[in-house]
Amino acid sequence: MANHKSAQKRIRRNARRATINGARRGRIRTFLKKVEEAIANGKSEDAKKALQAAQPELQRGVAKGILHKNTVARKLSRLSARIKAIA
């Protein structure tokens, strides 16, 4: 258990940030799931629209420090390649 006031504050702050980051990560996963679903159904146009909606969310995740920029770049690249393949 934290003994210092600053350490106690840090614990409270970390708990708040974990909640917010978890929500953001879940939101990103939802957007990615929509893209995956459209690809699985073979709907090229829907997949493109879903990817366009997911891209800013992924970039926001990078800006907020939730995801690494190379991870996002890799995910976007692979998704767009799969969309291109079904087109």
**Which alpha helices (DSSP H) does the chain contain, by range?**
5-41, 44-63, 69-86
Angle of CA points 49, 71, 30, to nearest 5°: 40
pLDDT of 6: 94
Q: Which of 14, 36, 26, 17 is nearest to 57 (CA)?
A: 26
Q: Domain of 9: which CATH number?
A: 1.20.58.110
Q: How many domains does the chain have?
A: 1
Per the CB < 8 A criterion, the answer to whether 59 and 72 are in contact is yes
Q: Please give the chain's pLDDT, 87 residues, in tens.
A: 788 999 999 999 999 999 999 999 999 999 999 999 999 999 999 999 999 999 999 999 999 999 999 999 999 999 999 999 998
Q: Which domain holds residue 9?
A: 5-86
